[in-house]
Structure 1
Amino acid sequence: MPHQNFQHCIDECNACAVACEHCAASCLSEPNVHEMAECIRLDLDCAAMCRMASAYMARGSRFAKDLCNLCATACEACGAECERHAAQHCQECAQACRRCAQACRAMA
């Protein structure tokens, strides 16, 4: 089954998507929500990209490697933004993004 070759990357993408969704929702509850707008946007973009990359790998798509390169780029951008914020959910998201970007680069 083709997805078994990508299982580590699939797992990292899924974990990152969850972390990004959690971060976005948590950012919406911050008292300075207007300052978190870019973080929320990148969280949502990154989560969507991670879910798409995971699906492409799961079905063994010939475009999986290309999508994983793009996913790594999105993860790096999201992680860099999240690192700028002290909130625990942002720091946890940044860590998940770094792990996912690394896995995606290795897979691609």
Structure 2
Amino acid sequence: MHQMSAEMQACIEECLRCHSTCLGMAMNHCLEVGGKHVEPAHFRIMMACAEICQTSANFMLIGTPHHKHLCRECAEICEECAKSCEQVGGMEDCVQQCRRCAESCRKMAA
């Protein structure tokens, strides 16, 4: 049985929270507000972030050592998403969750 550390469990939770925050905000907030919120570069990074967060969580749950590479990439994409959301404005929830997830993923990648 693969024993999961408390740190990994916390990272899975941050990733899943970030996945639902990014996907939920993109599909509801951004689509409804329009303008800068639906510009391709911004919308794509939000989708990429939601996707990599879910995949990182899945890899940790599967228990494969490959989660380290994925978590490193996830941290990078989360940071990029946080910056994009900050520039667009009015997306504080997403900015904060992406930064929390990035920090947690960096620890897992180390």
| TM-score (ref. length: structure 1) | 0.89
1:38 aligns with 2:70: no
Deviation by residue 1:36-74 (Cα, 9 ceiling, x = unmatched):
432211110000000000000001112000100000011
Structure 1 residues 62-101: aligned runs within 5 Å? 62-87=65-90, 90-101=91-102
Q: TM-score, normalized by length of structure 2?
A: 0.88
Residue 17 of structure 1: aligned partner: 19
Supply the distance in 1 between the matched residues of 2:17 and 2:34 (Cα, whole angstroms). Answer: 26
Is the 2:75–2:103 Cα contact (8 Å) retained in structure 1?
A: yes
Identity %: 37
Secondary structure, in 3 states, of the residue corresponding to 1:29?
helix
Q: Find the aligned partners of 1:44 and 1:10 in 2 and give their Cα distance.
A: 18
Q: Which residue of 2 aligns with 1:104?
A: 105
Unaligned runs of 5+ in 2: none
Spell out, residue by residue over 1:59-98, the C-alpha distance to the aligned partner (whole angstroms, 9 max, x if none).
11120001000000110100110011222xx211010000
For structure 1, which segment, 18-27 or 92-101, has the greater mean C-alpha deviation from structure 2 after superposition?
18-27
For the residues of structure 1 that align with 2:47 and 2:104, how far apart are their CA atoms?
20
CA distance in 2, matches of 1:64, 1:3: 15
Q: What is the alpha-carbon distance in structure 1 between the residues aligned to residue 12 and residue 24 of structure 2?
A: 18
Would you say the 8 A contact 2:16–2:54 is kept in 1?
yes
- In 2: Cα distance, 1:81 partner to 1:50 partner: 17
